[in-house]
């Protein structure tokens, strides 16, 4: 009986931890953006992979651990990932998020990225290539 009770308690604790891990994700899902406060981090990341079609990049992205999704860029690649692209981003649910002109510039072994909307730089980032993927961290800018 004691072993059965211990197993029962172990299973319940495991379910409790699993539930706690899942609930925060749903609490800040993109469908609940009204609850996001000014305390949100101004930090994001994007991972770009080359598509089979030349000059095309596929993206996955996250901003502030609140919003995330996928993206598709097309443009002219100069060398590796460096180039000028136009990219459209979508939330996880497929709803349109944003679109930008994306400039990726080689900076030695690394990359500088700029996201431009309406002729103004909206975000800047830095990145590196790991396993044929461009991994970039970024933040929004106001100047």
pLDDT tens, residue by residue, 89-135: 999 999 999 999 999 999 999 999 999 999 999 999 999 999 999 99
Positive/negative CA dihedral, 119, 120, 122, 124: positive
Q: What is the pLDDT of residues 62-75, one digit of tens each?
A: 999 999 999 999 99
- From CA 12, how far away is CA 61, in angstroms rounded? 34
- From CA 70, how far away is CA 96, in angstroms rounded? 10
Q: What is the pLDDT of residues 34-45, one digit of tens each?
A: 445 567 899 999
90: tokens are 């979508």
Percent above pLDDT 70 for the chain: 73
What's the pTM? 0.73
Q: What pLDDT score was predicted for residue 40?
A: 86
Q: What is the pLDDT of residues 1-57, one digit of tens each?
A: 444 434 333 333 333 333 333 333 333 344 444 445 567 899 999 999 999 999 999
**What residues have CB less than 8 Å from 70, skipping those under 6 apart?**
58, 59, 60, 61, 89, 90, 92
Q: What pLDDT score was predicted for residue 90?
A: 98
């Amino acid at each position: 009986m004691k072993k059965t009770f211990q197993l029962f308690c172990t299973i319940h604790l495991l379910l409790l931890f699993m539930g706690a891990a899942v609930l925060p994700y749903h609490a800040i899902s993109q469908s609940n953006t009204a609850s996001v406060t000014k305390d949100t981090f101004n930090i994001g990341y994007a991972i770009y992979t080359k598509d089979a079609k030349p000059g095309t990049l596929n993206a996955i992205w996250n901003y502030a651990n609140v919003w995330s999704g996928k993206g598709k860029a097309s443009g002219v690649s100069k060398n590796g990932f460096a180039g000028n692209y136009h990219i459209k981003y979508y939330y996880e649910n497929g709803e349109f998020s944003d679109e930008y002109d994306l400039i990726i510039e080689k900076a030695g072994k690394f990359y500088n990225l700029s996201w431009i909307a309406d002729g103004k730089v909206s975000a800047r980032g830095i990145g590196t290539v790991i396993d044929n993927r461009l991994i970039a961290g970024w933040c929004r800018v106001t100047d």
